[in-house]
Copies of this chain bind each other. A is one copy, B any other.
Amino acid sequence: MKQILMMSSSRKGVSGYLEHAEDQVHAVLKGRAKRVLFVPYAGGITFSFDEYESRVKPSFERFGYELTSIHHHKDARAAVEQAEAVVVGGGNTFVLLDRMYNAGIVGLLRERLNAGMPYVGWSAGANVVCPTIRTTNDMPIVEPPTLKAIGVVPFQVNPHFISGKPSGHNGESREERLAEYLAINPDEGVVAIPEGVALHVHGDSATVLGEFDALHFRQGGAVDKIATGSTFALASI
C-alpha cells in the first residue's frame, strides 16, 4: 500500500527547518523504516549536496531516523533499489526532475512507491510524485527531458500555496495561475497545500495533516476546502 507524504514546505511561517514536520514524518515512516535515503537534487545549486544533507540530517535523527544522501552512493539506482524509504527535499523542481532522469531513478521510484516503499517529499519533492511538474511554482532554470514525473499520485499538487498577490504588482495571483491550469487541462485535478500542510497518501486515500485546510481547485473556478484531519479518496480529485 502506498505511503507517501507530500509536504508543502520545509518551514511553516517563521518556524525552524522541518520543525513543524515531526508528526507528519512519523505518519509515514514510523514502524516502516529506520534508515532513509535522502535525495538532495532539487538543491545543491548555490550550495553543495553535503551542505544540504547536513541541514536535513539532524532533523531526521531527532525524529529517530538515520539519513544518508544518495550522492554518497556510486550507483544511484542501486541506492534506490535498496532503500527502506526515500526523502526528497525542496529546491528547484525542474533541476530535481532533470537530475532524477539523469540518475535513471524516475521509473524505479515509480515501481518502488507503487509497491509501498515510504516516501517523504516537501516542496519540489511533493511536485515530483504528481503526474507532471506542471503545477510547480519554480522557475524553469533547466529543461528536463520531459515535465512528466513519477506519477504515483493521480492529481497535481501546488505547494507553498498563498492567496492573492503583492499590491501594485501585476503578475498573476496563485489562484489565477491554477484557474488557467485547469482551463487548459480540463481533465485534471489540483490540490493546493499552504505552508505547514501535508497530504499523507495511504493506498487509495489521502489525509490532510497540519494546522490549515487543503484546497481543491475545481473546473470553472470553484475551490473546495478539504478540512485538516479529513481523509478523501484519491479518485475524488
Contacts and interface: CB of A to CB of B under 8 A. Distances in A.
Contact of A134 (B141, B169, B172): B141
Given A13-B168, A162-B169, A146 B143 contact: yes
Count of identical protomers in the assembly: 2
Contact of A143 (B147, B162, B171, B176): B147
The main secondary structure of chain A at its interface with chain B is loop
Contacts of A170: 9-12, 160, 195
Interface residues of A, number: 42
A180 interface: yes
A83 B10 CA distance: 51
Interface in A132-168: 132-143, 146-147, 160, 162, 166, 168
A87 interface: no
Instruction: Give the most central of A9, A134, A179: most B CB within 10 Å.
Output: A134
Contact of A140 (B12, B13, B136, B183): B136
A46 B179 contact: yes
B134 A177 contact: no
Given A45-B183, A134-B141, A138-B172, 17 more contacts: A9-B170, A14-B168, A46-B179, A46-B183, A92-B180, A133-B140, A134-B139, A135-B139, A136-B139, A136-B140, A137-B139, A138-B177, A139-B177, A139-B180, A141-B185, A162-B169, A170-B195
